[in-house]
Amino acid sequence: MAALTPADTPSIAQARRLVVKIGSALLVDEHGLRRDWLSGLAADVAALRARGTDVVLVSSGSIALGRRILGLDPGVLPLEQSQAAAAVGQIQLAQGYQDVLGDYQVKTAQVLMTLSDTSNRRRYLNSRATLGTLLSFGVVPIVNENDTVATDEIRFGDNDRLAASIAVTIGADQLVLLSDVDGIYTANPKQDPNARHLAVVPQITQEIEAMAGDPISGLSKGGMKTKLLAAKVAVAGGCAMAIAEGTRQNPLQALVDGARASWFLPQGDPRAARKRWISGMKPQGQLEIDAGAVAALRSGKSLLPAGIVSVSGEFGRGEPVSVSGPDGRIIAKGLTRYTCEEARAIAGHRSGEISQILGYPGRAALIHRDDMVC
């Protein structure tokens, strides 16, 4: 493999859509929420937003906060108690983010997810659409696992993997896990003076996995092992992932300024990964389009209602449909932004007529080119 140059290392200054995972140990200490640290993070997020970067925060801390509020004993809690603590702590956590980001006029939203929201296709599409809409409004979603309803079998259990799953779901190009370590080392740096820091991991080899054997971070829930599992999900979905030191003040700004971290490089870009995913789906309906629309699709354009001749099948918004030309041959597959009833109503009409026909404003494209494989 050719030697990697600094130019191959991703930089969050260039991120288009960034997911940041924040662990409990960074956010909560024996006095509760670490407001100063959180304010610094908010300043960093506001700066990224001002540059046009979409930002999603995946934040732990609800259980750590809740157990303090409830005065629960230290140590591992039984599941019911950690669920109860999460319910108590989550309000304060969300409020904390709203306060600090509000200081920078950044709007926030609370999104609580379970494993099935990313593995069940319908819910997956719903959560993707909601997060996408929040981002299009310039909102910073604050995501956590819905610890209160999730039983053991349907739990992510750790937010490293939840964050990776979300990053892939929303087509993020970068994921940063803020941790109490600045990356992955060839050996445990606390025990081995020869341990070497890896700034870039082009591929997660067996050798890399062996390095993550023991959790070297005592504070984070899963240690290095769950971080590597997260990295595998992220890079396979076309998203670069960094493990970075988060305990310092303004940790994201530090990364922009070149702080040390370990970057796992993506396998292909997120759009290509998404297209592979779409091409594997079973179409729920068919759209027949005219010759003009076929030419538009072939030149990389989105599918507009005007080019649609007929609609068959039953499908909801976000579901996969096949697209065929006048000769009946299937030329594309994509995720529709309208239900089958809406598609029938607007077929053959210009995009400017949509709101009059449906009685509410809709999207100009019926299938956006990012959601289509030709």
* Footprint of ligand GLU (CB under 6 A): 23-24, 60-64, 86, 144-145, 147, 158-159, 221
Closest CB to ligand GLU among 92 and 339? 92
Instruction: State in angstroms the smallest separation of the CB of 24 from ligand GLU.
Output: 5
CB distance 26 to 178 below 8 Å:
yes
* Cβ-based neighbour number of residue 137 at 10 Å: 9
* Cβ-based neighbour number of residue 360 at 10 Å: 8
Closest CB to ligand GLU among 60 and 253? 60
Closest CB to ligand GLU among 115 and 332? 115
Instruction: State in angstroms the smallest separation of the CB of 82 from ligand GLU.
Output: 8
Instruction: State in angstroms the smallest separation of the CB of 216 from ligand GLU.
Output: 16
Closest CB to ligand GLU among 49 and 68? 68
Instruction: State in angstroms the smallest separation of the CB of 76 from ligand GLU.
Output: 13
The three-state secondary structure class of 355 is: helix
d(CA 18, CA 91): 24
Instruction: State in angstroms the smallest separation of the CB of 158 from ligand GLU.
Output: 4
3 phi/psi in degrees, rounded to 5: -65, 145
The three-state secondary structure class of 190 is: coil
Closest CB to ligand GLU among 60 and 174? 60
Helices (H), 288-353: 291-298, 340-346
- Cα 188–189–190 angle (5° rounding)? 90
Closest CB to ligand GLU among 97 and 315? 97
Instruction: State in angstroms the smallest separation of the CB of 34 from ligand GLU.
Output: 15
Single out the residue of 44, 58, 60, 59 nearest to residue 12, CA to CA: 44
Closest CB to ligand GLU among 24 and 165? 24
Q: Which residues of 173-210 are buried (b: 16+ CB within 10 A; e: fewer)?
A: bbbbbbbebbbbbeeebeeeeeeeebbbbbebeeebee
- Terminal-to-terminal C-alpha distance of the chain: 32
Instruction: State in angstroms the smallest separation of the CB of 221 from ligand GLU.
Output: 4
Instruction: State in angstroms the smallest separation of the CB of 145 from ligand GLU.
Output: 4
182 phi/psi in degrees, rounded to 5: -95, 20
Closest CB to ligand GLU among 66 and 183? 66
CB distance 340 to 285 below 8 Å:
yes
d(CA 287, CA 320): 11
